[in-house]
C-alpha cells in the first residue's frame, strides 16, 4: 500500500512537472488539454464564487489567459489545480472588488438564483420533484451564505481540497479556513434541516 502511495505520488509529481515545463514553453496543445480537463471544476468554482454565469464565463476565459501569461511562475511543486484555482480566485476577487469595493458580501448580482441545474436523482417524477425542491432550497440558502464562506465550502466539499490547500489557494491561515467552513456549514443549517424533513 505504501509502495502504491509512493508510485501515485511519483506519477503526480511527474504530471505536475510536465505541466510546469509545458507552461514555460507556452505549449498550446498542453493548454488545450488542460482547458478540457479542468473546464467543469473551474467554471463550477467561479460560478459559486460570483453567483453569475456570464461573469463566471468571462472569468473562466481570463483565468486561462492568465495561466498562459503567468505559466512560467508555476513551479510544479504543488498541485496544478490549486494554482489554477488561486488564479481564478484572485481574478474573481479583483472583479468583485471593482463592482463592490466596500465589501465582498454585496457582490451577488441581480440575476442570481437558479444558476445551477440539479441532477435528476430519483426514479419517479415525485422523487425528482422533491429532489429539485431540496436543491432549490439549498441553492437559495447557498446564495445567501457570505461569499467568503461559500468559497471554502465549495473548495472543501465539492472540489475535495485539503484544508491546507484551501489556505494556500485563498491566502489565509488554516485556522481561518476551518472557521469559514464551520460557519458556512452552520449558515446552511436551516436549508439542510428543511430538506431533511
- In the complex, which residues of this chain contact other proteins (CB under 8 A)? 26, 28, 31-32, 35-36, 39-40, 42-44, 47, 57, 60-61, 64-65, 68-69, 115-119, 121, 134-135, 138-139, 142, 153-154, 156-158, 160-163, 178, 181-182, 184-186, 188-189, 192, 195-196
* Coil vs helix vs strand at 75: coil
Per the CB < 8 A criterion, the answer to whether 136 and 146 are in contact is no
**Nearest distance in Å: CB 164, other proteins:** 9
User: From residue 88, how far is each of 28, 48, 100, 141 by CA, in Å?
Assistant: 20, 12, 18, 24
Between 76 and 184, name the residue whose CB sits nearer to other proteins.
184
C-alpha cell at 194: 428543511
Specify the residue, 100 or 139, whose C-beta has the smaller distance to other proteins.
Answer: 139
- All three cell numbers of 26, joined, read 507556452
Are 182 and 174 spatial neighbours (Cβ–Cβ below 8 Å)? no
Q: Which one, 93 or 138, has the nearer CB to other proteins? A: 138
d(CA 130, CA 138): 12
Taking the C-alpha atoms of residue 190 and residue 196, their distance in angstroms, rounded to an integer, is 10
- Residue number, 169 or 181, with CB nearest to other proteins: 181
Nearest-angstrom CA–CA distance, 106 and 104: 5
* Shortest reach from residue 156's CB to other proteins, in Å: 7
Decide whether 57 or 109 has the Cβ nearer to other proteins.
Answer: 57
Q: How far is the CB of 102 from other proteins (least distance, A)?
A: 28
Q: How far is the CB of 194 from other proteins (least distance, A)?
A: 11
For the CB of residue 101, give the shortest distance to other proteins in the complex, in Å: 28
Output 46 or 96, the one with its CB closest to other proteins.
46
Query: How would you class 130 by CB atoms within 10 Å of its CB: exposed for 0-12, middle for 13-18, buried for 19 or more?
Result: middle
53 CB-contact burial (10 Å; exposed 0-12 / middle 13-18 / buried 19+): middle
Amino acid at each position: 500500500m505504501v509502495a502504491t502511495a509512493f508510485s501515485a505520488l511519483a506519477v503526480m509529481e511527474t504530471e505536475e512537472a510536465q505541466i510546469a515545463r509545458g507552461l514555460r514553453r507556452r505549449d498550446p496543445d498542453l493548454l488545450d488539454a488542460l482547458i478540457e480537463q479542468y473546464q467543469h471544476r473551474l467554471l463550477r468554482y467561479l460560478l459559486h464564487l460570483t453567483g453569475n454565469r456570464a461573469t463566471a464565463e468571462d472569468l473562466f476565459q481570463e483565468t486561462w489567459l492568465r495561466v498562459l501569461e503567468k505559466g512560467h511562475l508555476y513551479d510544479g511543486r504543488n498541485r496544478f489545480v490549486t494554482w489554477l484555482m488561486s488564479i481564478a480566485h484572485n481574478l474573481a476577487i479583483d472583479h468583485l472588488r471593482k463592482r463592490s469595493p466596500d465589501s465582498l458580501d454585496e457582490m451577488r448580482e441581480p440575476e442570481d438564483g437558479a444558476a445551477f441545474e440539479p441532477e435528476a436523482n430519483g426514479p419517479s417524477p415525485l422523487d425528482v420533484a422533491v429532489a429539485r425542491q431540496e436543491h432549490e432550497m439549498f441553492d437559495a440558502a447557498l446564495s445567501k451564505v457570505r461569499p467568503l464562506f461559500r468559497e471554502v465550502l465549495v473548495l472543501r466539499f465539492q472540489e475535495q481540497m485539503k484544508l491546507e490547500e484551501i489556505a494556500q489557494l485563498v491566502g489565509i491561515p488554516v485556522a481561518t479556513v476551518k472557521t469559514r467552513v464551520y460557519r458556512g456549514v452552520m449558515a446552511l443549517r436551516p436549508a439542510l434541516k428543511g430538506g431533511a424533513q
